Structure 1
Amino acid sequence: MQSTIPNINSSTLLFVVPEEEWRNLHETLEQIIDLITRRNADDSGSEWIESEDARKILGVSPKTWQNYRDKRIIPFSQIGRKIYVNRADLDAFLRKHRIDSRK
């Protein structure tokens, strides 16, 4: 079967699309971009932070950080000697210990 498209560079192809179809396609692409952007923002909570960085974010001493881990106050993962904390768990801990302003 032979192609009906002349042998030309693909970058020179032009397509005619009705304006309404083009607008629908454009709107759909905008929605997809918005969903991806929101999902990426949500995924930032699944970031793993090294122990030292988590301790600095909390502003606690190494001993206090060790106590938090010993008492399982903040969940963590340990691989060998490396300790990691999920950013979402750290954020939840901070929210739980938030002190609201006086009204």
Structure 2
Amino acid sequence: MNSNTVTPVVLVPQSVLDELIQEVKAVKEICMNRFQENKTGEEWLSSEEVKSILGVSAKTWQKYRNEKRIPFSQFGRKIYVKKADLDAFMEKHKIKGRND
């Protein structure tokens, strides 16, 4: 650093600093989780996320599971689907356009 450079000092209330630190930690955790998911190549989606992506009702999603259209894992009442399996399902049911 140049000896003639002035470094500004900013004063902020402790509560603002604490809140900022918490937000940075939350963002860091989200990033680390995304990194881990991408590292393993296996992101898991909840039932709510799957229903939203497919645009189906809870009843239709239940029917898809009963018919074993999409592989899923269940732990107690929680149901999860690998993103890769959902992508494969979507690709399998893709209707090609005239130019495809």
2:76 aligned partner: 80
The TM-score, its normalising length taken from structure 1, stands at: 0.56
The answer to whether residue 43 in structure 2 is matched with residue 47 in structure 1 is yes
Runs of 4+ in 1 over 3 A off after TM superposition: 40-45
The answer to whether residue 50 in structure 2 is matched with residue 57 in structure 1 is no
**How many aligned residue pairs are there?**
64
Whether the aligned pair in 1 keeps the contact of 2:37 and 2:43 (CA below 8 Å) is: no
* Distance change >3 Å, CA 47–CA 62, structure 1 → 2: same
Identity within the alignment, %? 58
* Distance change >3 Å, CA 100–CA 79, structure 1 → 2: same
The answer to whether residue 55 in structure 2 is matched with residue 96 in structure 1 is no
5+ residue gaps, structure 1, are 1-39
Paired letter, 2:43: E
Name the larger-Rg structure: 1
CA-based RMSD of the aligned residues comes to: 2.0
Paired letter, 1:55: K
The TM-score, its normalising length taken from structure 2, stands at: 0.58
5+ residue gaps, structure 2, are 1-35
How big is each residue's C-alpha offset from its partner over 1:29-70, in whole Å with a ceiling of 9 and x where there is no partner? xxxxxxxxxxx8965751000011111101111111000001
Q: Give the distance between the partners of 1:61 and 1:47, measured in 2 at CA.
A: 22
Secondary structure in structure 2 of the residue aligned to 1:74: coil
